[in-house]
Amino acid sequence: MLQADAPSPHDDDTAQAAPGAGRPLPLAGIRVLDVTQVMAGPVCTMLLGDLGADVVKIEPPGTGDQTRSAMGFRMKGDDSMGFLNMNRNKRSVALNLKNESGRAVFLEMVKTADIVVENYRPGVMRKLGIDYETLSRINPRLVYASISGFGQTGPWAQRPGFDLMAQAMSGVMSVTGHPGGPPVKAGVPVADIGCALFATYAILAAYIGCEKTGRGQFIDASLFDSALAFSIWDISEYWGKGTIPEPLGTANRMSAPYQAVRAADGYFVMGATNQKLWVQLCTELDRKDLLDDPRFATISDRLAHRVALIEELEKSFATRTAEDWVATLLARGIPAGRMNTYPEAFESEHGMFREMRIDIPHPVEGTIPNIGFPVKLRGTPQAVRRPPPLLGQHTHEVLAERGLSDDAIATLAAEGAFAP
């Protein structure tokens, strides 16, 4: 079995204060072992890293995280832009968990870890001997999060799970698109990102609980459950009325008008979601006839006659451009917005002010764009302390921090700990 000098917990270089903040980032000193690939797991651990945690990404030697080679186009190096956008503030250790020496290294790392996040198919970690039951005996304070398609238990638990399957099987796709149209998935990976967010909040809650009790716990997070959690309006309609929800395009189940509407040169979005806004809208459009129309008297009436309502509104909106209408409605206090592409949103005056694109240095790519921090901490602002790592870039560094000599690391390498 691997033997190493016992370092003091969290004695590495990752407890830096955020630049200019004068105090450490909230999760500084917390050590995370990231045994995940693709999206939900890596996004979860990146969020922890952005908040100051020391995230060590454990990757299969040779190939690494599958997302390194994804997307179908090449950068200067081997890593895709998708990988580069989900793995900042991490260090990479290439470790063969199927190899006895590789597992021994991992078990040694667990002794001083606070959190393990993994997204292997249920049962794989147990076969490898690194499941929660095993690791919690080594480190009772360990918070261990398993991310999977359908959860660790249940009739579908052993199915391979990706965002597409979770969207379809959770019902998300049943309400996405337009009435009578073919199946449409949400344009963004709501199950993956939702699961990353839910797992992150559970991990932080469990860590806080451990600080009080001295005991960690197991977290079972799934894409399926996370996608279902977004169904609040839709399932409420079913539970309340018995009506199976159907796609509504850009419309909403709770109020009307609240959707995309056509102007003279294209679409924009607007919402008159209460009676006061509805009256203001009709006044601005000079459409007293709509106020007098019994089909549109109340929100319930407008919902019941949504198609006719939008047809009437678009007769007025067709007289001017979308940009003009957005400005006019906003001046009236009526929510409205233009239909941006992603480049337009990131490059907008507001997107740039909010720093939702950040440019960071990278050892191979030079400078790379990254999605900015979606929430801002004013007391301890997040920072990119590390660019997305190269595969195995920090293997020697991380093991040396844990007391292994160069000779010991060389012996492990000869035993296949770092080889495919």
Q: Above 70 in pLDDT, residue 17?
A: no
Give residue 368's identity as a one-letter amino acid code: I
Quick check: is 220 catalytic? no
Amino acid 19: pLDDT: 52
Q: In which residue are the tokens 């007025």 written?
A: 316
Fold entry, domain 31-232+360-415: Rossmann fold (3.40.50)
Overall average pLDDT of the 23-45 stretch: 97
Helix (H, G, I), strand (E, B) or coil at 61: coil
Q: Are 389 and 398 in contact (CB under 8 A)?
A: no
pLDDT 10s digits, 210-263:
999 999 999 999 999 999 999 999 999 999 999 999 999 999 999 999 999 999
Amino acid 13: pLDDT: 45
The per-residue pLDDT of the chain, averaged, comes to 94
Overall average pLDDT of the 333-359 stretch: 97
Q: Above 90 in pLDDT, residue 162?
A: yes
**What DSSP line would sit under 325-369, residue for residue?**
HHHHHHHTT--EEE---HHHHHHSHHHHHTT-EEEEEETTTEEEE
**What DSSP line would sit under 122-134, residue for residue?**
TTHHHHHT-SHHH
Overall average pLDDT of the 130-143 stretch: 98
Q: Which residues are registered as beta bridge partners of 33? A: 56, 116
Looking from the CA of 64 toward its CB, the CA atoms found within 13 Å total: 22
Catalytic-labelled residue, pool 163, 192, 225, 234:
192
HEC states along 269-301?
Answer: EEECCCHHHHHHHHHHHCCHHHHHCHHHCCHHH
The pTM assigned to this predicted structure is: 0.92
257 preceded by a cis bond (ω within 30 of 0): yes
Residue 254 DSSP symbol: S
Per-domain residue ranges of the chain: 31-232+360-415, 258-340
C-alpha to C-alpha distance for 186 and 199, rounded to whole angstroms? 21
pLDDT 10s digits, 63-77:
999 999 999 998 999
C-alpha to C-alpha distance for 296 and 277, rounded to whole angstroms? 13
Amino acid 199: pLDDT: 98
**Cα maximum dimension of the chain:** 86
Are 31-232+360-415 and 258-340 in the same CATH fold? no
Based on its alpha-carbon atoms, the radius of gyration of the chain, rounded to whole angstroms, reads 26
Residue 16 has a CB neighbour count (10 Å cut-off) of 12
* pLDDT-based confidence at residue 22 (cuts at 50, 70, 90): confident
Residue 198 has a CB neighbour count (10 Å cut-off) of 20
Options 3.20.20.80, 3.30.1540.10, 3.20.20.70, 3.40.50.300; which CATH number does 258-340 get?
A: 3.30.1540.10
Overall average pLDDT of the 147-173 stretch: 96
